[in-house]
């Protein structure tokens, strides 16, 4: 339905079509004339408010001179699956793709991340990430682990952009004290966390152990906000075999409430930095 909330995959189709059209130097009006529709339809497709037929998609890709078979196949596959529930990548896949999650990191203008056990992925060092990815009973081979570490670190290039997203990270004291990769690796990770907390777009707060029971005990999550007003917030929860996406207003409102509650009991950014430094010195 045209009025339904855009799914994860429809958003990706829309974003890629805009990218291809602009790269080809075509206007929305030219795209509309190509497939024989009104310009408003192109606007709705590019805002993910309306799906696109496979015939129209293939025609636009030819018009935009997108002729790499792998790219075309990926776009067709995304369009075919765009009406499936976008909030779940099903278990059963040997290596679930986190492409949607990475795309959200790139396109979001506000990222709220609560981490109960680990340092947030966008703030991890290579050594820390390697230890996380290879933790037993991991079945990943050395090359697979290294490829994933490289990918995770490459995601951090977002902080080098001219207009990086605003990110608020809430960590638990337990996550700071968990010696992932050993004492030396953890010291280096905490040093990096302190450094990133000084980044103008990053805010880090820590929930101290003494806070007791709180709303985050059910687990970690990331809440993405987007500059496009037609895109609702998205909650992402990573698990062992994939990623759960939640996009309804009720779901995102609930997690916004949880995040705000966690912020209220966390230490201030300044006091959080002091605690991070203290934990690092204790190692």
Contact criterion met (CB below 8 Å) for 21 and 28: yes
Tell me the pLDDT tens digit for each residue of 144-172.
899 889 988 988 988 988 889 999 999 99
Question: Residue 2 — pLDDT band, cuts 50, 70, 90?
Answer: very low
Question: Residue 11 — pLDDT band, cuts 50, 70, 90?
Answer: confident
Triad 134, 199, 264: Cα angle to 5°: 85
| Whole-number pLDDT of residue 93 | 30
Check whether residue 141 and residue 220 sit in a common domain.
yes
Asked if residue 36 has pLDDT above 80, the reply is yes
Check whether residue 76 and residue 116 sit in a common domain.
no
- Residue 2 falls within a domain, yes or no? no
| Whole-number pLDDT of residue 129 | 95
Query: What tokens were used for 210?
Result: 């003494």
CB atoms within 10 A of CB 111: 23
Q: What is the mean pLDDT of residues 239-267?
A: 90
- Residue 92 falls within a domain, yes or no? no
Crossing angle (nearest 10°) for helices 183-197 and 269-282: 160
CA–CA gap between residue 18 and residue 69 (Å, rounded): 19
The β-bridge partners of 110 are: 166, 225
Check whether residue 205 and residue 68 sit in a common domain.
no
Query: What tokens were used for 139?
Result: 């079945």
Predicted model pTM: 0.73
| Whole-number pLDDT of residue 277 | 97
Contacts of 271 (CB under 8 A, 6+ apart): none
Tell me the residue range of the domain where 161 lies.
99-282
pLDDT-wise least confident of 83-87, 176-180, 197-201, 252-256: 83-87
Contact criterion met (CB below 8 Å) for 225 and 110: yes
Check whether residue 106 and residue 65 sit in a common domain.
no
E strands in the chain? 110-115, 166-172, 202-207, 221-225, 234-239, 242-246
Radius of gyration of the chain (CA): 21
The domain total for the chain is 2
CA–CA gap between residue 95 and residue 76 (Å, rounded): 21
């Amino acid at each position: 339905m045209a009025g339904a909330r855009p799914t994860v995959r429809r958003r990706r189709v829309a974003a890629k079509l805009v990218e291809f059209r602009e790269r080809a130097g075509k206007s929305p009006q030219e795209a509309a004339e190509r497939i024989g529709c009104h310009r408003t339809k192109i606007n709705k497709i590019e805002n993910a408010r309306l799906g696109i037929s496979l015939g129209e998609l293939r025609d636009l890709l030819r018009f935009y001179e997108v002729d790499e078979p792998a790219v075309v196949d990926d776009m067709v596959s995304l369009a075919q699956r765009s009406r499936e529930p976008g909030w779940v990548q099903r278990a059963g896949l040997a290596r679930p793709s986190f492409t949607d999650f990475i795309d959200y990191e790139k396109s979001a203008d506000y990222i709220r991340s609560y981490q109960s056990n680990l340092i947030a992925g966008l703030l991890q060092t290579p050594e820390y990430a390697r230890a996380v990815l290879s933790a037993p009973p991991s079945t990943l081979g050395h090359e697979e682990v290294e490829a994933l570490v490289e990918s995770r670190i490459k995601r951090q290039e977002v902080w080098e952009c001219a207009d990086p997203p605003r990110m608020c990270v809430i960590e638990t004291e337990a996550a700071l004290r968990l010696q992932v990769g050993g004492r030396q690796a953890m010291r280096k990770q905490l040093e990096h966390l302190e450094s990133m907390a000084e980044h103008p777009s990053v805010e880090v707060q820590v929930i101290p152990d003494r806070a007791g029971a709180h709303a985050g005990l059910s687990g970690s999550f990331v809440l993405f906000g987007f500059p496009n007003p037609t895109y609702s917030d998205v909650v992402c929860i990573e698990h062992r075999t994939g990623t759960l996406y939640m996009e309804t207003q009720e779901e995102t409102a609930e997690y916004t409430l949880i995040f705000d509650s966690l912020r209220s009991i966390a230490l201030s950014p300044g006091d959080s930095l002091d605690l991070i430094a203290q934990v690092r010195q204790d190692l």
